[in-house]
Amino acid sequence: MPTFKTYMRILLAHRIYIVIYLVIISITGIAIGLSTASGSSQHFTATSSRVAIIDHDDSRLSRALSAHVTKGNTVVPLADNKKSVQDALAQDMVSYLLVIPKGWGHDLMVAAVNEGTAPALEASVSYRSGEGFLVDQEVRSYAQGLFGSASLGGSQSDVVHATDESWGKSIGVSTIGQRATPLPDSLLNSALFSSYPIFASVTVCIALLMKTLNAKALHGRRVASPQSPRERNVALVAACVCIALVAWAWNFGLQAAILGRSAITQSPAQLGIVGLALLAYSLVSASVGFLVGQLGVSENAANAVANIFGMALSFLGGAWTSLSLLPDALVAVAHFTPFYWAYRAIEGASAMRGVSASSVLPLVGCVGVCMLFGIAILLVGITLGRARTKQLG
């Protein structure tokens, strides 16, 4: 116990790192989670996009197409000149811009009767959002509907009436209940972000503790003390585990208290899996810190390792961006990192539709794989420590 308390005093001498890595960055993760919090609704509500229409044709078909585009969207007035169009797109004033060429309605009627090709529309979408692409798909579908109705004959008014009638028979949207309440997105985002402060804080603190203990003067006094090597090692392991537990309890406790209050009662199993995954990653971070400390690196090097590897592992694990956006080669590399498996457990718990052995056990297996990384890294650190002890003694 006295040795353990000594280790804790050494750790508290570097409290600045605890404040920076553990407190400040963790609170940043909570703020990110709060910024992504959104309420749920029992009813489907379509998203309103900012659209602009320039109709050079002014036919019955073009007016019907314009009315279809404006329905449910916000119309932005736009002058019919090149500069205004370019400014609207460059400044993200509109998500979708439609220009209907002169003679488009007449050309569509003629092409439909003669089994030709429908005339093209001039459309532009904003580069900042995907909303414009969705509006464009709907516009093209409606225009194709006009073309199909025109092939049956009749006037432009008949074509518009037939198209609107068939379009109105669209599929309804309903909400399907789940047997398990999903975790809030804010909690998921904060849990993923916390991988960085957990890794950085635990790695730096343990590495600096090991650096202090491995200093020649202190190392000599430790070896000469009446304590057995077993007692010293047990105290050191207890100190490392304590650091990991404090980092985990602080991060996960904040997430559960601020972002996951409803999940405590509604989704206890999913919340437990998230906590278990973060706990496993905290222990992996402790193993990394132990290894870095055995290497005898400087304080600056320990900070560099904690930051660079912390960010890299979080990135490869999917904390910063979705893994679906990464190249296949990078995703393959991610399989060999510990947080990838913790991420799979966290994401799987968040998307769980029902709590059962078949849905929980695979996620627990992912947590186990994450722990295996920690065990492997710890064994490497122990081997290096023995070699270093023989070299010094």
Reply yes or no on whether the pLDDT at 289 is more than 80: yes
Is 207 contained in some domain? Answer: yes
Token pair of 213 as six digits: 């203990």
Supply the CATH number for residue 95's domain: 3.40.1710.10
What integer best gives the mean pLDDT of the chain? 85
The structural domain count of the chain equals: 2
Judged by DSSP in three states, 381 sits in helix
**Of 133, 167, 201, which residue constitutes the final position of a domain?**
167
Which DSSP symbol is given to 180? S
Question: What would the pLDDT profile of 2-29 be if each residue is shown by its tens digit?
Answer: 777 887 888 888 888 888 888 999 898 8
Contact 207, 306 (CB under 8 A): yes
Residues 193 and 152 reside in one and the same domain:
no
Res. 261 pLDDT band, cuts 50 70 90:
confident
- Angle, CA of 6, 12 and 15, to the nearest 5°: 165
Per-residue pLDDT reduced to its tens digit, 194-251: 999 999 999 999 988 888 877 666 655 665 566 676 777 788 888 899 999 999 999 9
**Digit-coded pLDDT (tens) for 83-134:** 888 888 788 888 889 999 999 999 999 999 888 888 989 888 887 767 788 8
The model scores a pTM over 0.85: no
Residues 148-166 have a mean pLDDT of 88
Cα 41 vs. chain centroid, distance in angstroms?
Answer: 22
The whole-number average pLDDT for the span 266-292 is 93
Burial of 211: CB neighbours in 10 Å, binned 0-12, 13-18, 19+: buried
Answer whether residue 174 is part of any domain: no
Instruction: Note whether residue 58 is domain-resident.
Output: yes
213 and 255 part of one domain? yes
Cα 290 to its chain centre, rounded Å, is 29
Per-residue tokens: 50: 């900012």
The answer on 162 and 188 residing in a single domain is no
- Which residues touch 208 (CB under 8 Å, ≥6 apart)? 11, 14, 17, 293, 299, 302
C-alpha distances (whole Å) from 382 to each of 116, 202, 388 are: 76, 18, 10
* pLDDT for the residue numbered 311: 94
Which residue range(s) make up the domain with 99?
Answer: 50-167
Asked, for residue 176, whether it belongs to a domain, the answer is no
Same domain for 305 and 192 = yes
- The answer, yes or no, to whether residue 260 has pLDDT greater than 70, is yes
